[in-house]
Structure 1
Amino acid sequence: MELLRPFLSIWRMHLANALQYRAAVWAQLTTNIFWGFVRTVMMLVFYRYGLQQIAGYEAGLSLAQAVSHVWLVQIALHLLPGNLIDAEIREKIRSGDVALELCRPLDLYAHWFTRALAMRLGRFFLQLIPVTTVAMLLLPMPYRLQPPASCAGLFAFCASLLLGCLLSCALVGLSYVLLLRVSWGDGPVIILKIISDLLSGAELPLQLWPAWAQRLLAAQPFASLLDLPLRLYTGTLAPSEFWSVAAIQLAWLVLFMGVGWLLMQGSLRRLLIQGG
């Protein structure tokens, strides 16, 4: 427990920091709700007026489930690894002030992982109640977020979403390691955002992709961030499927945390900091 105490303190400090910028939070809330409504309208048009009107239903995703998926993405958007990359850490890597981080009696990877987790959970909690209230109670049908398919599905969704958040932080940690190895630009961060948004189902539910790609899409790591947890909420995956989803998420989590930690140790051994 003594080993965890510094990380719990760091988590509380950065969580409080993420909760304090109220003006920025209200701006993000407004933006999220606006784009959620726009994307809901686009989904409605696709289902009602598209050339392949039954394509979504054949994929096992009804209009109400697709609309719920859109709103759940807006609520959980900040949990994705491409969002909320810590500007302070990026600046320390660029300027060489990362040397100050090495003076702490803490594992650097675990420290940055904890910061990433606090930032994501802080923004998520701020978005949760306002966006859910607007999407579930204030909007008319068919633009409304539907309740979870079952109570068991809701609990499975929450547990799976937490695992997805941890996996997101592991991917963020890996991007920090790549920034240590790349001396210019934000290439790793940009690539991470593009890939995670596309393959996590944030832009389009993965169930609406071609049928031949479904197994591959479900097995790849980015689906575990968002798409698979959301299926438990909407009911396209039964609550009994939680354990298979969790096994996939835990496998990717252990892999990326292990690879990130090992690469971090290798990068620190070769790290050269110029200046004085």
Structure 2
Amino acid sequence: MSAVAACSLVGGDDATLADADAGVQPSSLAGDSGRPVVEVLPPQADHRPPLDPDADPQTPLGQLRARYFPVWTQEFDGAFPPETCGTAWELDGIAEPTGGIDISLYGEVPVMAALGVMRYEHLVSRALADPTPLAQLCVAVGSVGPARTAALELLQTALESDQPASLGASYPSEVTLVAVGPSAALAVACVGPQAAAASTDSETGEAHSPVEPTYLGAYLLRVSRGHEDRVADTSYRVFDVEHRESPGCAGWEPWLAQWQDTVDTWLNEGQIWQHDGQQITAETICNAPPAAGEPDCPKQWPRQ
């Protein structure tokens, strides 16, 4: 389905972080007379992985999931995020970005955006630390669009090599909400090193605990809705992500400033964004009473 823009590119929901780096410029929006014209934008590419040719879905839900996951497993038929992924009891594994929803009705927007970032990093790092076909469901719980496709490809590579691509589950303890759009949010975070299980050096015999590098992350989140049942499952999920390795969190302030400048660029292009700047910690999320349903506290998520 094509998007239509009149006078300006409104909303910013079709933007990706790569667009920001490339300095995307809107095409001419005015005719020779100077009067506004309507530009019909080309449809977005389908980011879903192809149907697993070896899939043998047993149920309609399994058939739905087979459309999204590169590797099929019969466990998909009976698996749901509460038991499988250890987070967010209400979230469907299969969701897509949507619009026309007032997400503030589902909770505080800064908290939902921060929770979306923490959930994404936790679920993806945990899946890569223990790559199984069923872990694809957890990747899908935390992401949509290009971010989901990229994470599923990483997981598929780890499955094929039978080697973990992460040392363990991790998430940023603090997230800064840079800006909010009509149905999108931009956030940044510093994901610190996570100690892995101690191992022994084969030459010296000394025990040591390897750590993953610290990296800075920028996350474009989109309002998304699940498709696995009829319950309104609405949340912010990571749509696109950019990571930059960093020596600790020392580069945090320039990183934040860079994405604040990106929002200014989007505003100058006619997109609708509002600067925010709120910092949300996992401690704040865990101590706040839930708006509805059961609480989703990052500190209670599985560490392995």
TM over 0.5: no
Which protein has greater RCO, CA pairs closer than 8 Å, 6+ apart?
A: 1
Structure with the higher strand share, 1 or 2: 2
The normalised TM-score by structure 1 is 0.28
The normalised TM-score by structure 2 is 0.27
